[in-house]
Amino acid sequence: MDRETLTQAIRELKRERKAVILAHSYQRPEVQEVADFVGDSLGLAREAQRTKAEVIVFAGVHFMAETAAILNPEKTVLLPDIEAGCSLADSIRPEDVLAWKEAHPEGLVVAYVNTKAEVKALADVCVTSANAVEVVAALPKDRPIFFVPDMFLGAHVARVTGRRLDLFPGECHVHAGIREEHLRALLEAHPEAEFMIHPECGCGSSCLYLKPDAKMLSTEGMVRYAKKAAHSTFVVATEVGILHRLEKEAPNKRFIPVKPDAVCEYMKRITLEKVYLSLKEMRHAVRVPEEVAEKARKALSAMVAVG
């Protein structure tokens, strides 16, 4: 089927299945276009929690579909490609968290949403890049904090809040690949541009040194900021899937990727055809054992409530 036929078939199946399609901002443009809601991890979690649909098709990666399943145990959550994983979520194991907790019995575990359900179940609270600073700033100041798994986001949170955090040495392979030399080249080429940097980027500290007025923003923060900012040109340091949404929501502005090949191959595993097959054949249902989900739900509910 061509794209137009696939799109129409998806819309018809969505009505039949009483389904909603949620898509992350890093998804392919054509997948974003068939979604009912496009956003970042926090926005998607909130939308998954409030939807009245019976079926949630999650155009994202596995931990996102898991999050939706945890927050909606009575609904069917489908992931169009079961192999759509996450290198960051895969970097940490429950054993890593348990070892820290054993050494710090009074400690608090802050888990980035980019983690598997078994890790979330061991956390005191989950965060996204959009609310991590706010969540950590509100935690008791007399208790040690283990921030997992993204060390660059954790370093950003520590810098902004002034809190001492124990950081797990995890990273997103896409954001870690955006380096200082990429930023320096764009600074020279576009000195007038506004710089928007995702806090998962390994170049965050050096960017703030090179350009102190650069904005450290979540994907959703980038969209909101670009729409209201007076600047007309923006340099964007994150996965390039965000460019479609930025160009759509701020059509009179120019967006330049710091690294044009900053592509998450896991996000791009989701295609329009796979979304169609997911709805047609009800594949692939994502389920989390209730004993794990019950514990993870507490940490996720605290995350969704902030901000």
Residues 198-208: what's their mean pLDDT?
77
CA angle (158 as vertex; 155, 162 as ends), nearest 5: 150
Check residue 307 and give its pLDDT: 58
Separation of alpha carbons 174 and 177, rounded Å: 5
Number of domains in the chain: 3
List, as residue ranges, the binding site for iminosuccinate. Answer: 24, 41, 112-114, 129, 198-200, 219
List, as residue ranges, the binding site for [4Fe-4S] cluster. Answer: 86, 172, 264
User: Residue 221: is its pLDDT beyond 90?
Assistant: yes
User: Residue 207: is its pLDDT beyond 80?
Assistant: no
| pLDDT, tens only, 24-73 | 999 999 999 999 999 998 889 889 889 999 999 999 999 999 999 999 99
Q: Can you tell me whether residue 194 is helix, strand or coil?
A: strand
Higher-pLDDT residue of 212 and 82 is 82
List, as residue ranges, the binding site. Answer: 24, 41, 86, 112-114, 129, 172, 198-200, 219, 264
Structural domain of 188: 178-257
Read off the CATH number of the domain in which 241 is found. Answer: 3.40.50.10800
- 186 and 117 share one domain: no
Residues 106-130: what's their mean pLDDT?
96
Q: Which residues contact 103 (CB under 8 A, 6 or more apart)?
A: none
- 195 and 245 share one domain: yes
CB neighbour burial string for 48-66, b if at least 16 within 10 angstroms, e if fewer: beebebebbbbbbbbbbbb
- 33 and 49 share one domain: yes
Strand partners, 254: 233
Separation of alpha carbons 161 and 44, rounded Å: 26
- 130 and 97 share one domain: yes
